[in-house]
Chains A and B, each alone.
Chain A
């Protein structure tokens, strides 16, 4: 809740009707001439859907781009793991879709905690993304007549999701990677893989460069530029177990936060309902089973908690298809937050299945009978195989066992309408920004947002910034600010190696994950969150006294990389708990037990919390300072989100 000390952030949303804002902005925006574009150097950190598409597009426009990625190749960014699809309001199936409806579903799905103008723009450019991807050779699924095929996803009553089997993220990423490769060939992009950004360099209040570590030699490097685009993804790995890739981390964002970029809504975490359950302590990550499976799979548990029969032996009368029962109009396709909480509720009541009892069934028997095995295999074959590889069970014969897992973070660095953070010259794209998803992201919207930011938004908004900057006036990397950032990064690595304690980085990370999952997970309470704050602080102290990082700094050293990232997660974890504590309402993925309806649904408080909370770092000795961006809704009526 805002008090009289709260300051307010201006998102710089253009005037005019919602439908006209983006066009009006583009018409009024300043441009950089072709001759000047090549005199600007843009640093793009990350090569996923947001970074890859931005780097390719900006280079295509003529800017000089340096692109960094943490993996050994730009093609491996974690966007690649997105399975189900990408939304757009093409309305090819003629089922009533429109830009307005995509906008409305997305803002409603986000539980009215996102910025109207951004979400509308996202819905507007979504169609262009599909055209762009097809032009690049993305092999989307097609009908026999040769047209593109669509399927349904959670939170929508139309079929607007385009897909390439269960590998849509891979194909869209390869499209962006290939576009990036074309620009590398043209000489406009310098691609630097195996680089981790360790700090942002700010000179005279503007982002002017970054400091990186080359991950095979440990060399600390300086790169200067006229603008920095942060496209480094989300921070779900703060929970240790998540569907994120092992290298996904918050360090680049957190380093920017410490340099002055505000961190918005850190508590908004998406817990995805359909993941393969945890099987043991050795578990290193969790695997998502695409939401698209809920098109044909039916979620159920036995009615009787004591029923331990095999699923095939449990007759229909003894099963509870609880999503279909509780939400008759959306059924199994309720949004992710709703489906996750419902699964937790069933398992907490003892009706969970499998060895751990923390799982529910996702059953395809009825769909197989209705559509035939071949049809199901065409739609989900690779997902079924992946499930079988991991669990040893074939979903054609036994229902899948699924449980929610951390999947996506709606929070991130605060950006205005131009995707610019509170540090001029630092732009944040994709999952790394606090984005267009409010308190809950709908399925097939992450790919849409990452590519919208990179292909269709940043080319305009970056130009508007650079048009005011003089070309060729970039700061030299000999500047003292670079020296200071490099020294800070080197010193931190030295300190991590110097502790030489008893406990491994992974052991600490597991402990942090446990605290976050238990107290800042699917349901939260004031007392739990207060405990999380103190537990995370305690763990952080222990980490800096007792961590054991093997090896040295001058070689490939995975543990050293992970130690640095964990140190930042330990700071972030505390901020997430604090943010969750301050938001005394339930909305989307943020569910406070104190604030729920009689039916157990999230209870928003629009009078006090229709705002974005953005936190400013105020030094290690001081608590972060809260800023708010008030969300004003001119075009939609705030209503209780109902999927019943």
Chain B
């Protein structure tokens, strides 16, 4: 199949960017979208042009390295699918696909489709953990956890930190990312202890990083490759409000 690509090119963080047109004529429907970009890059290098830079690592949809806007949608048209797992069978011969980086003030562009998502790490550093030291933990079965709670915690813990939620949000909010971690940890008895401080620390950091607030557009949930529910955001707000009242 032949695929037309219109890709954001930007040589560095402070350089102007622009969309450039490319064509791949020998695409296969079994290729992943990133493999299509690989093929394009091989052709660009052979022609003496600069390849399109993008982050990717596991290519199994779990590391969260990849993340690009494909046809205006974070990770492309398939639901519950990171762009590394998006396959060309989702497209038709002759399609024109616009490819852009995540757009958010808190995710500055590094080059082409590569962005800096270190703000996410700083949100976790601000409280996204259960304080513990290695060793001396009680037997793993000492505290029973309801299966329903463990399962729900796992639903939230599945976040891969890719940033699609931010890219899809009109406010560039990191609420889904932040709330998923808060919900995962507070659903477990081990994590419930610090729940209030955690929520406050992470939410304040989210604001400091320049992410917007949530106004319930639910775009984040629609593009999340792991299907994380915005019920986590409701939970986060409840915890945050309770914490403020307690102060």
Contacts and interface: CB of A to CB of B under 8 A. Distances in A.
Contact of B65 (A76, A140, A165, A386): A76
A185 interface: yes
Given A181-B121, A559-B45, A132 B30 contact: no
Contacts of B129: 136-137, 178-179, 181-182
A597 interface: no
Interface stretch (B35-43, B97-105, B210-218, B236-244): B35-43
A283 interface: yes
A282 B147 contact: no
| Binding site secondary structure of chain B | loop
B231 interface: no
Given A57-B134, A171-B157, A177-B124, A279 B42 contact: no
A528 interface: no
Contact of B35 (A174, A283, A550): A283
Interface in B68-115: 78, 80-81, 85, 87, 89, 110-111, 114
Contact of B63 (A57, A71, A147): A71
A459 interface: yes
B161 A75 contact: yes
A216 B143 CA distance: 45
B140 A130 contact: yes
Given A81-B63, A182-B131, A559-B51, A216 B58 contact: no
Contact of A145 (B61, B124, B144, B184): B144
A333 interface: no
Contacts, number: 221
A471 interface: no
A312 B89 CA distance: 24
Interface residues of B, number: 79
B139 A131 contact: yes
Interface in B174-216: 184-185, 188, 190-191
Given A71-B57, A81-B58, A178 B150 contact: no
Interface in B30-55: 30-32, 34-35, 38-39, 42, 44-46, 48-51, 53, 55
B234 interface: no
A570 B152 CA distance: 46
B125 interface: yes
Contacts of A81: 58, 60, 62-63
A79 to B, nearest CB: 10
Contacts of A146: 144-147
B106 to A, nearest CB: 14
Given A390-B85, A504-B45, A139 B153 contact: yes
Contact of A56 (B31, B81, B127, B134): B134
16 contacts: A130-B140, A136-B129, A137-B130, A139-B157, A167-B158, A169-B62, A179-B132, A181-B124, A182-B129, A185-B126, A193-B118, A216-B116, A245-B58, A389-B87, A504-B42, A559-B45
The 4 closest A-B pairs by CB, nearest first: A146-B144, A178-B129, A135-B137, A139-B154
